[in-house]
Amino acid sequence: MNLLTLSQLNPTQRLALLRLATTLASSATSNPLLTTARKRLAHRSIALLFFENSTRTRASFETAAAQLALHPLALDISTSSTAKGESFADTIRTIAALDPAAIILRHADANAAHIAASHSTAPIINAGTGTKAHPTQALLDAATIATHALPRLNLPAADPDQPFQHLRIAITGDIARSRVARSLIRLLPSLGAELSLVGPPGFLPDRFALLGFPIHRSINDALTTPDSPPHILYALRVQHERASHADDNAATDAFISTCAIRRETLDKLAPNALIMHPGPVNWGVELDAALANDTRSLILHQVAMGVPTRTAVILAATGLADLNTQSQSRPTT
């Protein structure tokens, strides 16, 4: 199966993927599902087509592939025949003809994953497309929350189908241009979390109010919401490379002065409140550099959770894990 956006997964499949990721995180390489998968995938490759830069996503997909004994077919786009004018569709058809177990794709075009799927005989896994979707980032964030945040927050017991019930998350940053935000907005409420969005109008236009989440124009407003301050502050990177408006610097200045997370901001929250960020971080912009080594930061846990989460996604995409069970993914027979 393809993983193009989270909207293609029903609630059972999302929960199954989350549970598989957290199970793999706790059982590391000893999980019997991995042993079965390694036998089935022996001598296969997995293609990595990164038309945009990446550190975390690419490195964790390569590590996940290694755990599954898959050979990484990592195309260097800058030296590929793309530079001779070969079309995106022909590149996808060419790589698919080599019969990889899946094609992992990052691209600046928001529709690239869907276009690739229409030309590929191999499953397509979206590793971040334009400003539209970054489904594996949202999944690894959910797995990080389940594994590292919930045990520290002492929330009331949650409905098993809504594991993030009672959890409040405020997302602050360049939301309009963030594919991570779009995937988080899709996933976290479906797991029971209460979201609020924080940003100046340049980063969070009024149209986002149509989504139905509370909108705050300053981080202080988000923190002083009576009786319901967030448990997690999730910061997003200011994406100058996707600047689409002339007043980008003014929007960034407005964001830094009103919506960035400083150490004093965090100190106003409960002592067990946490911060997250998908990386790479612009330290001193969306997050105070003083928070880099703060124990309330889950950022490196997010990076580490990329491996079991992307392993789970590869297993699902290659048909080696069945997501259509309520309780737990298991090997297909």
Nearest to 183 by CA among 233, 132, 121, 124: 132
Nearest to 54 by CA among 204, 241, 234: 241
Which residues lie across from 171 on neighbouring strands? 197, 234
Residue showing tokens 């959890």:
167
Residue showing tokens 């706790």:
26
Choose between 54 and 94: whose C-beta lies nearer to ligand CP: 54
Choose between 56 and 166: whose C-beta lies nearer to ligand CP: 56
Choose between 147 and 183: whose C-beta lies nearer to ligand CP: 183
Choose between 241 and 247: whose C-beta lies nearer to ligand CP: 241
Residue showing tokens 């698919």:
96
Region binding ligand CP by CB under 6 A among candidate stretches 24-32, 82-90, 115-123, 277-285: 277-285
DSSP-derived 3-state class of residue 72: strand
Residues 239-258 that bind ligand CP (CB under 6 A): none
**Crossing angle of helices 135-144 and 56-67, rounded to 10°:** 80
Q: Which residues make Cβ contacts (< 8 Å) with residue 234, sequence separation at least 6?
A: 141, 169, 170, 171, 172, 184, 275, 276, 277
Q: Which of 192, 214, 279, 331 binds ligand CP (CB under 6 A)?
A: 279
Residue showing tokens 């094609």:
103
Residues 203-232 that bind ligand CP (CB under 6 A): none
Q: State in angstroms the smallest separation of the CB of 148 from ligand CP.
A: 17
Choose between 190 and 239: whose C-beta lies nearer to ligand CP: 239
Compute φ and ψ for 266, nearest 5 degrees.
Answer: -65, -35
Q: State in angstroms the smallest separation of the CB of 201 from ligand CP.
A: 25
Structure-token pair, residue 171: 């997302």
Within the chain, residue ranges assigned H as helices are: 11-27, 32-41, 56-67, 88-97, 112-119, 135-144, 150-153, 179-187, 219-223, 248-258, 263-267, 299-317
Region binding ligand CP by CB under 6 A among candidate stretches 206-214, 216-224, 246-254, 276-284: 276-284
Q: State in angstroms the smallest separation of the CB of 55 from ligand CP.
A: 4
Q: State in angstroms the smallest separation of the CB of 62 from ligand CP.
A: 11
Q: State in angstroms the smallest separation of the CB of 168 from ligand CP.
A: 23
Which residues lie across from 108 on neighbouring strands? none
Choose between 36 and 54: whose C-beta lies nearer to ligand CP: 54
Nearest to 179 by CA among 317, 6, 1, 2: 6
Choose between 5 and 137: whose C-beta lies nearer to ligand CP: 137
Q: In angstroms, how far is CA 320 from the centroid of its own chain?
A: 22
> With binding defined as CB under 6 A, does residue 280 bind ligand CP?
yes
Q: Give the length of the chain.
A: 333
Number of residues that bind ligand CP (CB under 6 A): 9
> With binding defined as CB under 6 A, does residue 201 bind ligand CP?
no
Q: State in angstroms the smallest separation of the CB of 179 from ligand CP.
A: 9
For residue 176, which amino acid is it? A
Q: Which of 135, 173, 230, 278 binds ligand CP (CB under 6 A)?
A: 278
Binding track, positions 127-156, relative to ligand CP; x by CB under 6 A? -x--------x-------------------
Choose between 241 and 253: whose C-beta lies nearer to ligand CP: 241
Residues 44-63 that bind ligand CP (CB under 6 A): 54-57
Choose between 129 and 329: whose C-beta lies nearer to ligand CP: 129
Residues near ligand CP (CB under 6 A):
54-57, 128, 137, 278-280
